[in-house]
Amino acid sequence: MIDFEKHRSDKIEYIYNQNDINLNFQKHTHRSFEVMFVFEGKIECEIDGQIFNINAGEGVLILPGQIHSYKTEDTSKSYLCVFSNDWVREFYNSVKGNHFENPVFCGFDKAQCDILQNKSADKFIIKSILYGICSEVFTNSTLVKSNAANFALVNSLAFYVQDNYRNNISLKQIAKDFGYNYCYLSSFFNENFGMNFSAYVNSYRIQLSCEYLIKTDLDITEISTLCGFETIRNFNRLFKKECNMTPNEYRKTAV
């Protein structure tokens, strides 16, 4: 499970890798690039409301700030890489404020995947692989100007949640702080995130808790508090609803 907090997006030469079986992940956004490549099966990727079916041997490049999600209907085996903008600075400056009509690419292989995951790999080799992916998409797709106002508000909302998920936040307070009509903002959020604000915040907290369960030895109560839940009872209830198992069961399956 990926933590898309600010600290993951803003680090210099940041790169995160993970391998997945049957990748599923709700709509989210962050300030980094993201590459997802399918080795087996098929994954449905939604980017800014557009659906792309990524088959085995294909990948997708997601630009900073784009809202995206993944869904595996049957089975899939995939690789995912999140990397900061400075790895491909010149490319980032060229595409900023735009999006690709078709961000799907081919030509990535297991050997390149292994290099990206090798912590001792030469950084210039890593850059060459990442630039190669960017070049493949740039050459075979068309750049389209993004809706700047829509893009800015979507990212402001997503980053607000990522920066304030530990607090008791509400869309009414955000509407007041941002200077928007509450009804308009509620409708905008549902349309762009595919769920209401409360559901999105809770889902974000649950996904963050999954990472704590896997990567730390913190007890369930501590994780519940760290992720912004007011009570352990509420955390357990929402976790089971989201993951179809209890936090303890999840931790055991991840071992």
Domain ranges of the chain: 6-145, 148-253
Query: What is the average per-residue pLDDT within 174-192?
Result: 93
Q: How far apart are CA 16 and CA 30, in angstroms?
A: 13
CATH class of 148-253: mainly alpha
In the prediction, which pLDDT does 1 show? 34
In the prediction, which pLDDT does 7 show? 42
- Which residues partner with 70 through β-bridges? 25, 45
Instruction: Flag whether pLDDT at 44 surpasses 60.
Output: yes
Question: Is 2.60.120.810 the CATH number for 6-145?
Answer: yes
What is the per-residue burial (b if ≥16 Cβ within 10 Å, else e) of 213-248?
beeeeeebeebbebbbbeebeebbebbeebbeeebe
Length of the chain: 255
Query: What is the average per-residue pLDDT within 111-133?
Result: 96
Model confidence at 5, pLDDT cuts 50, 70, 90, reads very low
In the prediction, which pLDDT does 158 show? 85
For 42, half-sphere exposure in the C-beta direction (CA atoms, 13 angstrom radius) is: 8
In the prediction, which pLDDT does 3 show? 37
User: pLDDT by residue (tens digit) across 192-246?
Assistant: 888 899 999 998 899 889 889 988 999 999 999 999 999 999 999 999 998 889 9
Q: How far apart are CA 209 and CA 251, in angstroms?
A: 10
Q: How far apart are CA 54 and CA 83, in angstroms?
A: 20
User: pLDDT by residue (tens digit) across 75-110?
Assistant: 999 999 999 999 999 999 999 889 999 999 998 999
**Cα maximum dimension of the chain:** 52
Q: How far apart are CA 167 and CA 110, in angstroms?
A: 42
Q: Across all residues in the chain, what is the average pLDDT?
A: 90
> How far is C-alpha 194 from the chain's CA centre?
15
**Top-confidence residue, 192 or 164:** 164
The residue whose two tokens read 């509407």 is 175
In the prediction, which pLDDT does 254 show? 67
The model carries a pTM of 0.72
Supply 246's token pair: 């209890």
